[in-house]
Amino acid sequence: MSSRLKSATGSPPSELQPNSTPLQSPAFGSRWRGALARSRLMRALSRPWAGLATCLMYHRICPDQAGSDDMARGFAPNLDLSVTAGAFDEQMAFAARHFNCLSLPEAIEQLAAGTLPKRSLIVTFDDGYLDNLTLALPILRRHAVPATVYIATGLIEQAELPWWYELEDLIAGADGFHIHWDNQHLHFSTIDADAKRRTFDILNPMLKRMDSAEQIRFMGLLRQSSRQPVEKDNQFMNHRQLIELASDPLITIGAHTHHHLALSELKPIRLRHEITHSKELLENWLKQPIEHLAYPFGGEAHAATREFSVAEELGFSSAVTTRLGHFQVFHKNHLLALPRIGIGYQDCMARFEWKLSGLYSMVRAPTSRWTC
Whole-number percent of the chain with pLDDT over 90 = 79
Whole-number percent of the chain with pLDDT over 70 = 85
Kindly report the CA angle at 233 between 188 and 166, in degrees rounded to 5?
Answer: 15
Say yes or no to pLDDT of 261 above 70. yes
pLDDT tens-digit map of 183-218? 999 999 999 999 999 999 999 999 999 999 999 999
Report the predicted TM-score, pTM, of the whole model to 2 decimal places. 0.89
Instruction: Tell me the one-letter amino acid at 297.
Output: F
Across the chain, what does the average pLDDT equal? Answer: 89
Instruction: Tell me the one-letter amino acid at 80.
Output: D
Number of H helices, E strands in the chain: 17, 12
Domains of the chain are 41-133+239-271+287-367 (3.20.20.370), 160-226 (no CATH)
Kindly state the average pLDDT of the residues 112-124. 98
- Would you state the pLDDT for residue 65? 85
Bridge partners, 100 (sequence order) = 120
Q: Is 68 left (phi over 0), alpha (psi -120 to 50) or beta?
A: alpha
Instruction: Tell me the one-letter amino acid at 310.
Output: V
pLDDT tens-digit map of 271-305? 999 999 999 999 999 999 999 999 999 999 999 99
Residue 301 to residue 297: CA distance in whole angstroms: 9
- Would you state the pLDDT for residue 14? 27
- Alpha-carbon dihedral of residues 71, 74, 77, 79, nearest 10 degrees? 0
pLDDT tens-digit map of 230-257? 666 678 999 999 999 999 999 999 999 9
Nearest to 239 by CA among 158, 300, 302, 305: 158
